[in-house]
Amino acid sequence: MSAFNLQRPMVLLAGIVFFGFISGCSDRRAGGSSSEASKSTSGNTEHPPNGLASLLAALPTVEDYQLDEKRATEFAGLSLACVDREYPNKPSHVADGDHTVKPPRELHPAFFGCFDWHSAVHGHWAMVRLLKLFPNIAVGEEIRSALNRHLTTEYIALELAYFKQEHHDLFERPYGWGWLLRLKAELDTFEDPDAKKWARSLSPLAHHIVGLTKAYLEKLSVPVRAGTHHSTAFALTHIYDYAISAGDAHLKEVIAKRALTFYGKDTDCPTAYEPSGEDFISPCLVEADLMRRVMDRSAFSNWLDDFLPAADAPEFEPLLRPVAVKDRRDPKIGHLIGLFFQRAAAFNGIAGALGPGDPRGEGFRKVAAIHRNAGLKQMIDSGYGGSHWLATFAVYLLTDAGPY
């Protein structure tokens, strides 16, 4: 990854300046939630300052980052570098006899690269996303060639057959399912002849995963609140966006109902416990990122009042602070780099859902920029343990893939 240089002058100051801010605000005190438990349906959208003005003034200003074609080419290069790289590989395969032990390219002919199945899937998504947004990208033909090799009717049929085998109905649940459906949504909304062909090839597998998702949500008593691949909320953000794109009203309704059941009465998210040492998802922020999709603006704003501490409260500081990554090349510790991108995307999404009249939005966007720049800096020289997946999280953030 050393040849991939995203180091810009703007990212070098974020951590230093920001930690000065954290120490400066550590003496502030503010109350937690100021709303009643019933407030989520009250429609009250007034938000007292609670020191927000001083918080905004204390936040460092970071330089903006625009994803141009040159930078898009660099990100696409990371996905291209791993899409056909079979090893090293971490399969999630349940073997049922010697005859089922096969190399990744035989088990998953479409998605065998990029270290694991879900990374291969979202690596394909990142390439499609960048090709759609930058149709003249320098590596456009390389991207089309890779997608033509992998997203064939034959290979997707074999992927589907794998899911239908005994012991494989839990494969990549729910993280890989969410990314597969986001890939399908990206293809469906791409007005390009090749994209339409790839979307048709992917349709049977997407349809099967939609069915698995509905069945899973019916029997899931409580959500998985992890900061890693098992997170229920993270997968549902992707699947909900797919449902909207696909016009699948039933899937959309199922997710909205389950989200409200799982999270609708949540209050006082334990921000002090974030992050765990190998997280790449913020359990608190991803929950809010899902709820802003399934609630109207007024209800979400009030739900958020109860769920997150005031932005100027000490309890909010763990969400503000980019955590130190002491070994970028450790594949698990390096998850924290992805956390920066996920937090930034969630903060942007939450700010967008609150609307222009809510003073919290400006602060959330500033914090998002700080996390974004920390991620761009830290992903440099993260080794294959980072390069095989971090580009996707950066592209998701930098292209506003989550509807705001």
Say if residue 89 is in the same domain as residue 55: no
Say if residue 255 is in the same domain as residue 110: yes
- CB neighbour list of residue 99: distance below 8 Å, 6 or more residues apart: none
Planar angle of CA 152, 155, 157, nearest 5 degrees:
105
Say if residue 144 is in the same domain as residue 217: yes
Query: Is the residue at 288 inside a domain?
Result: no
Question: How many other β-carbons are positioned within 10 Å of the β-carbon of residue 329?
Answer: 13
- CB neighbour list of residue 16: distance below 8 Å, 6 or more residues apart: none
> Which residue from 207, 192, 174 is spatially nearest to 127, judged by alpha carbons?
192
Question: How many other β-carbons are positioned within 10 Å of the β-carbon of residue 326?
Answer: 8
> What six digits make up the tokens of 129?
């996303």
Place of tokens 């060639």: 145
Among 242, 263, 284, identify where a domain stops: 263
Question: How many other β-carbons are positioned within 10 Å of the β-carbon of residue 38?
Answer: 9
Residue type, 108: H
Predicted local confidence at residue 120, as pLDDT: 98
* 107, 162 Cβ separation under 8 angstroms: yes
Say if residue 54 is in the same domain as residue 91: no
Say if residue 187 is in the same domain as residue 132: yes
- Alpha carbon distance 17, 379 (integer Å): 19
Instruction: Split the chain (404 residues) into runs of 10 and give each run's mean pLDDT.
Output: 34 33 33 35 44 76 92 98 98 93 97 98 98 98 98 98 95 98 98 98 98 98 98 98 98 98 98 97 98 98 96 91 95 98 98 92 93 96 96 98 85
Determine the longest span between alpha carbons in the chain, in angstroms: 65
DSSP, residue by residue, 40-68: GGT-------TTHHHHHHHSPP-------
The distance of Cα 43 from the centroid of its chain, to the nearest Å, equals: 29
* 308, 346 Cβ separation under 8 angstroms: no
Among 241, 263, 285, identify where a domain stops: 263
Q: What is the pTM of this model?
A: 0.88
Query: Is the residue at 337 inside a domain?
Result: yes
Say if residue 107 is in the same domain as residue 239: yes
Say if residue 48 is in the same domain as residue 105: no
Predicted local confidence at residue 359, as pLDDT: 87
Query: Is the residue at 286 inside a domain?
Result: no
Query: Is the residue at 152 inside a domain?
Result: yes
DSSP, residue by residue, 196-250: HHHHHHHHHHHHHHHHHHHHHHHH--S----SSTT-HHHHHHHHHHHHHHHT-HH
Say if residue 25 is in the same domain as residue 156: no
Say if residue 56 is in the same domain as residue 95: no
Predicted local confidence at residue 312, as pLDDT: 84
Query: Which run of H or E residues covers position 132?
Result: helix 117-133
Query: Is the residue at 280 inside a domain?
Result: no
> Which residue from 239, 130, 153 is spatially nearest to 203, judged by alpha carbons?
153
Q: Which domain holds residue 364?
A: 1-60+295-404
Determine if residue 295 is left, alpha or beta; phi over 0 gives left, psi from -120 to 50 gives alpha, anything else beta.
beta
- Alpha carbon distance 367, 108 (integer Å): 39
Say if residue 16 is in the same domain as residue 149: no
Query: Is the residue at 75 inside a domain?
Result: no
Query: Is the residue at 78 inside a domain?
Result: no
- Alpha carbon distance 182, 359 (integer Å): 31
Say if residue 18 is in the same domain as residue 159: no
Predicted local confidence at residue 51, as pLDDT: 67
Going from the C-alpha of 239 to that of each of 125, 324, 326, the distances in angstroms are 14, 31, 33
Say if residue 92 is in the same domain as residue 195: yes
Query: Is the residue at 21 inside a domain?
Result: yes
Q: For the chain, how many structural domains are there in total?
A: 2
Predicted local confidence at residue 273, as pLDDT: 96
Among 247, 263, 279, identify where a domain stops: 263
